[in-house]
Chain A
């Protein structure tokens, strides 16, 4: 039984409200035209790129929000995401953040392992949802923040847990 492979065979979901406001706005899917990306401020080339970014943003800030309302279900399985070492890093981070006991999972029956993997996928979705919320709040607060090329870099530099009343650390 392969643990990572099973996780990577899952396709995470995300809140539909962020599809237009964030994903579509900042990603040019399949876009190799760097100039166009630059001009339109659509800095990400794939949905999984902004998804990974948001996941790490949520994880880094210890900020996750359970998914509510409408969700999208047509997202790629994790195994298709690139680059692999970053995807593995995210998985490593999830294992760190989760309460999963690595020794115990090795003693579990297959169905229990499956359940743990689902829990990890849910955790990924919640952190990503948190990351999206950080971006969305920034758009509302300071709309021009995203008008320069450094925006996503600067967002990574924001002080940890600096999200006021919206903070929902576990």
Chain B
């Protein structure tokens, strides 16, 4: 089957009608993240299965799911739809059967209607239709009842997982933890089941022949009762052997499971320890983050506090101090002038006083008073009658003393004296001038410190995010949800360890018993034969022998075919593995399919010395899985899958780098007759595109580039203007 084209009308982000045409070989649809790649994959899926991928549940959901039907029709198409009208989305694929030249045209449509009030009526069902067109006739509708069989013809359900997959599904397609995964895949994609049938038939034929042989033997026995006893013993022993085989399978199963679980937990154990270490690192980061945040908040809060406590409010007010100083200077000068006038007066008075011979208060006022009363100078003992010059001179001595006393208390020079207050204001200003000069520097330092803390905060937050992401990545892969669960993992791990020891003992015991029973069966058979008095017909004996051989051949043939398939599978897987990793030499080891106790095979990675590689990374595991998926298809050329069905893969190499994208596409072009790879690896990378075109050469089909009409940011704001632009570059 060749997928000739897919046409999308108003499907999700694809506005209007968009058609992709494909050819045999490798077809590429290239687009960046958010360009509509997964929506294209959804379109393939929806037209066949009525389902699209729901990013919330991470599963493919039916159209009926409310989150799906709400987003199925392009927002832009809905924006163009007037109230009372309806808008339709549809996807159509044209599939060609190259052998017959017939075509199937499969279409799915879904319509929503806008009510007068502007709300949307979204039915729960889509409508599927199909047309069949043979080489010579026009297309004719296929009855609804037959559509399902057409769908299965286009892509059988059991083949689907290996032909249509997304990068993130590869992990679950080949589940390394389920031993029968590979066996199941081989059963689906090969004719090995025919050999199972031969094995079963030959076994049954042998058992019937043997029963006939024993019945004849009994008839010819010398001791019928002994014969019966031995026959019944033989039957019992055989049924016991069968039971023991069942027991062996059970023990082997248990042992395998316990080993798987132990291995599973071993990985988890390491992961749990890693999660624990990372979590404690996260706690440290959180504590540092909290501390930095608190310090930052404290400093920010201090900014406004500092307006008053550190006088930042006075920023740039130094000029006011200078202006007041000037005013105060003028004030003091004027005041000093007044004071100087008063001083001059005082000095003049002092000059007058200096004209006296005697110092002030000599003689003391009481003696002067006595002299005035006695009208006689007691210093020179001369008469000084009242009214005379001598009397007046004595009296002046008294007044001079009084006037001197008055001078000690100077007269105020102004009515109000605010000088001390004006001075205190001046001194306060001068004192604050120091702070004012420091304000700019202090602010610069503080803001610098805050910015430093902000940077530190961002750095710690970034480290925390990286750490948390690492935890989430491990959690995603390991399915360990909490640190606490790691404790139960350790306990579980120990219990599996004990169980393994027990199952190994059981297996050993059962196998010994089986050997004993087999030997007993041989002895009993011999005893039975010794009881025969005549000869059992040769033909009967030969029949048993031939059917026993036939049964053994069928069994060994089946095993040989299966082993050959496994060998081929291993060889093919390695071929693809090397092909895909050719550009990256740092990989890789060699894939080996190892047989377990139950006969199932598991892919393992070994180095050149044949030792298992213990430290293979996620990319390697996925590459091994992709290689095995391709090997399943390519190993058995008789499998119709590679020839009949196209590979459709969305972001198959999303989990690893550019170097692998070329390898994957080249390998896909060699394995599948048609592949449609949807990828971002080649977007805006013409070097890589040219390399691919060169390497794939003639096997290159169509190449499209898809780009959204709006940037991611614009999409958030104007979702109803979004459409996808499709450019065919080859």
Contacts and interface: CB of A to CB of B under 8 A. Distances in A.
A38 B297 contact: yes
Contacts of B320: 59-60, 89, 92-93, 96
Interface stretch (B298-306, B510-518, B678-686, B693-701): B298-306
B308 A105 contact: no
A89 B314 contact: yes
Interface stretch (A65-73, A133-141, A148-156, A161-169): A148-156
Contact of B317 (A1, A93, A95, A103): A93
A150 B303 contact: yes
Contacts of B426: 92
B587 interface: no
A106 B335 CA distance: 10
B425 A95 contact: yes
Given A89-B428, A153-B307, A102 B414 contact: no
A106 B315 CA distance: 32
Interface string B281-323: 0000000000000000110110111011001111111001101
A153 B415 contact: no
Given A91-B425, A93-B320, A96-B324, A52 B304 contact: no
Contacts of B424: 4, 88
Contacts of A35: 297, 301
B416 interface: yes
A20 to B, nearest CB: 20
Count class of interface residues, chain A: 35 or more
A106 B414 contact: yes
Q: Is the interface of B mostly helix, strand, loop or mixed?
A: helix
A2 interface: yes
Given A34-B298, A89-B432, A108 B418 contact: no
A102 B317 contact: no
Interface string A35-55: 101100001100001001100
B146 interface: no
Contacts of A149: 300-301, 303-304
A156 B424 CA distance: 26
A108 B308 contact: no
A116 to B, nearest CB: 11
Interface string B417-441: 1110110111011011000000000
Contacts, number: 122
Contacts of B324: 92-93, 95-96
A102 B421 CA distance: 11
A53 B303 contact: no
A95 B416 contact: no
B638 interface: no
B582 interface: no
Contacts of A160: 316
Contacts of B429: 89, 92
B301 A60 contact: no
B335 A103 contact: yes
A92 B303 contact: no
B416 A106 contact: yes
B301 A86 contact: no
B301 A38 contact: yes
Contacts of B428: 85, 88-89, 92
B331 interface: yes
Please name the 10 residue pairs, one residue from A and one from B, whose CB atoms are nearest each other, closest first: A43-B304, A102-B331, A106-B414, A149-B300, A96-B323, A3-B418, A34-B301, A92-B425, A103-B334, A96-B324
15 contacts: A2-B421, A35-B297, A53-B313, A56-B313, A59-B320, A86-B311, A92-B320, A95-B327, A102-B422, A106-B418, A108-B416, A109-B415, A152-B304, A156-B315, A160-B316
